[in-house]
A = this chain, B = another copy of it.
Amino acid sequence: MTIETISENRSFGGTQGVYRHRSTATGTDMTFGLFLPEVARYAPVPALFFLSGLTCTHENAMIKAAAQAHADEAGIALVFPDTSPRGEGVADDEAYDLGQGAGFYVNATEGPWAPHYRMWDYITEELPALLGANMPIDEGALGITGHSMGGHGALTIAMTMPDRFRSVSALAPIANPTRSDWGRKQLAAYLGNDESTWAAHDATLLMTARGFPGDVLIDQGSADQFLDLLMPERLAHAMAARRQPGRFRMQEGFDHSYWFVQSFIEEHVFFHAERLL
């Protein structure tokens, strides 16, 4: 597996890189950002995957979340994957919330999406293995977080594969996509109309059915302009009903933007570092 270096910039004591590789999962080239802290010069470090939201590439959180300072201090890597396969020959849709930039972190089974939209496999299998083999990353010490659609991805993946991702948190996640316009359309497109296949990709349903073996950290802004689509109250209810260890925090006055993400990213980075190191 060859990894092409797009850019590397010194950032704090470490390096912020952008890399591209041929993905067997998606059958396309995939680009990701990787921040390596200073301590990664000496030994493999844990890594926190940050899954991004609708319309994002690998760049948004990498540039706007301001997580690097904290990751360097904590001694963990940050991984910023793209949100879908891209390129010519990859199916797309005119809507911002379907197709390229909107992979929803599932393995699509339906046409025209099935050939390339395999973000679940990409995030859970291919990218961890790639990083473990080629970068100073401890593949056995991975955490996962995300924003909006990425929070959905982080929660559904971690609850399904807690041995793969040992810590999980989310910022303003799409919490109940099987009941939301941010979800029903996409799950129908990618997985088909049999709604029984959707349940594996709904954080509220997974929280009710199985939860997560560690404690969970959720932050949500009270002034989020998408509260009706995110439905955080469903997840909060499921967490409390299950007695899931963790914290659901409603943060007063914050909206859905990266200004919200940036305001709480330090706590998320250290939350994961404490559980992975």
Q: Give residues in A with beta carbon < 8 Å to B.
A: 9-12, 16, 63-64, 66, 68-69, 221, 223, 253-255, 257-260, 262-263, 266
Contact = CB atoms under 8 A, between A and B. Distances in A.
Contacts of A258: 63
Given A63-B63, A69-B66, A10 B262 contact: no
A266 B10 contact: no
Assembly of this chain: how many copies?
Answer: 2
Given A16-B259, A259-B16, A10 B66 contact: no
A257 B9 contact: yes
Find the residue from A254, A258, A259 having the highest chain B CB count within 10 A: A259
Contacts of A221: 10
A48 to B, nearest CB: 17
A11 B254 CA distance: 7
A265 to B, nearest CB: 9
Interface centre among A10, A257, A260, A262 (most CB of B within 10 A): A10
B10 A260 contact: yes
Given A10-B259, A16-B259, A66-B69, 8 more contacts: A9-B257, A10-B221, A10-B254, A10-B263, A64-B64, A68-B259, A68-B262, A69-B262
29 contacts: A9-B255, A9-B257, A9-B259, A9-B260, A10-B221, A10-B223, A10-B253, A10-B254, A10-B255, A10-B259, A10-B260, A11-B259, A11-B262, A11-B263, A12-B262, A12-B263, A16-B259, A63-B63, A63-B64, A63-B258, A64-B64, A66-B66, A66-B69, A66-B262, A68-B259, A68-B262, A69-B262, A69-B263, A69-B266
Contacts of A16: 259
Contacts of A260: 9-10
Nearest to A263: B12
Nearest to A264: B12
A68 B266 CA distance: 13
A268 B226 CA distance: 36
A101 to B, nearest CB: 19
A8 to B, nearest CB: 9
A263 B11 CA distance: 6
A19 to B, nearest CB: 16
A35 to B, nearest CB: 10
Contacts of A68: 259, 262
A254 B68 CA distance: 15
